[in-house]
């Protein structure tokens, strides 16, 4: 019932996490910057990497899932916190107009609403999500995904022409 929080010195823990990730998966980039372990991985192994983080390395908290719309592809960032000062930031890129990526709700149940919000705002579909529907916008006749760069609001062009 009780949750055990990690012990030990911060830098040794960061090294341990980095090694744990490197040994188990093929990562595109992996480094330790300050108090963060930064990983850039391919989209297919996201659930595997996060399973490693949760099960083997004991990183228990998924802080947020952010999607950034780089026109043409979507950059998804997962930030994990072990509760004692270390952070793990995992980045993937998903190509295309209608992106699909595996859901991590089975690993970190808190991702449920984060992924719903990402779907609502960006249209990123999460395979295996138990309940993928919109959070903020109305479900019936709203076919747009508001935070895409192609969805313009009236002040979008305010700074056009100025740098």
Partner 1 sequence: MLSEERVTESAALSGRASGRLANPDVRDEFGLETLDMNMGPQHPAMHGLLRLILELDGETVVRCDPVMGYLHRCQEKIAENRMYPAVIPMTDRLDYFANMHNEHGYCLAVEDLLEAEIPPRAEAIRVLMCELMRLASHIPSIGFLMLELGAFTPILYAFRERERIQSIFEAVTGARMMFHYIRIGGVKADLPEDIPQKIWDYVESLESHFQRDFVDLIEGNEIFIARTRGVGKISQEKAVEMGLTGPPLRCTGVDFDIRRDYPYSWYPNVEFDVITDTEGDVEASYRVRIGECLQSVRIIKQVLENLPEGEVMADLGRRIRPPEGEGFGRVEGPRGEFSVHVVSDGSDTPYRVHYRDPSFVNMQLLQEIIPGHYLPDIMPIMGLIDPVSGGWDK
Partner 2 sequence: MGVMQKFNEPNIITTSSDKLFNWARKNSLWPLQFGLACCAIEMMSTGMAHNDLDRFGAGFFTASPRQADVMIVSGTVSTKMAERMTRLYEQMPEPKWVIAMGACAISGGPFLDGYSVLMGADRVIPVDVYVPGCPPRPEALIFGIMTLQKKIERDQQVGYERSRPALVTEDGDFLEYLPEREYTQISEGKAPRFEDIRPLKRTYVFEREGMPPASQTDVGWIPKEVKKKLKEQKKAEQATAEADGQKNGSPEEPADAKGTA
Contact yes or no for 131/112 (Cβ under 8 A): yes
3-state secondary structure 8-45: CCHHHHHHHHHHHHHHHCCCCEEEEECCEEEEECCHHH
Residue among 66, 44, 72 at smallest CA distance from 121: 66
Residue 81 Cβ vs partner 1, minimum distance, rounded to whole Å: 8
Contacts with partner 2 by CB under 8 A: the residue count is 13
Confirm or reject binding of residue 144 to partner 1 (CB under 8 A): no
Q: Which of 70, 133, 157, 163 binds partner 2 (CB under 8 A)?
A: 157
Residue 144 Cβ vs partner 2, minimum distance, rounded to whole Å: 5
- Token output for 135: 């959070």
Cβ burial of 125 (10 Å; 0-12, 13-18, 19+) is: middle
Q: Which residues bind partner 2 (CB under 8 A)?
A: 136-138, 142, 144, 146, 151-157
Query: Which spans of this chain sit near partner 1 (rule: CB under 8 A)?
Result: 1-3, 5, 35, 60-64, 66, 68-69, 77, 79, 81, 83-85, 87, 108-114, 117, 121, 134-138, 146-147, 151, 153, 155-156, 158-159, 162-163
């Amino acid at each position: 019932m009780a949750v055990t929080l990690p012990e030990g010195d911060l830098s040794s823990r960061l090294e341990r996490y980095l090694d744990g990730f490197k040994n188990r998966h093929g990562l595109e980039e992996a480094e330790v910057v300050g108090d963060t372990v930064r990983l850039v991985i391919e989209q297919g192994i996201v659930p595997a990497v996060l399973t490693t983080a949760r099960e083997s390395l004991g990183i228990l908290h998924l802080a947020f899932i952010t999607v950034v719309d780089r026109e043409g592809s979507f950059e998804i960032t997962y930030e994990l916190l072990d509760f004692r000062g270390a952070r793990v930031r995992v980045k993937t890129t998903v190509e295309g107009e209608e992106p699909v990526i595996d859901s991590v709700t089975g690993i970190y149940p808190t991702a449920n609403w984060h992924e719903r919000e990402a779907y609502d705002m960006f249209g990123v579909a999460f395979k295996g999500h138990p309940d993928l529907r919109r959070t903020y916008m109305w479900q019936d006749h709203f076919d747009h995904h508001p935070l895409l760069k192609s969805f313009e609001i009236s002040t979008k062009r305010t700074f056009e022409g100025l740098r």
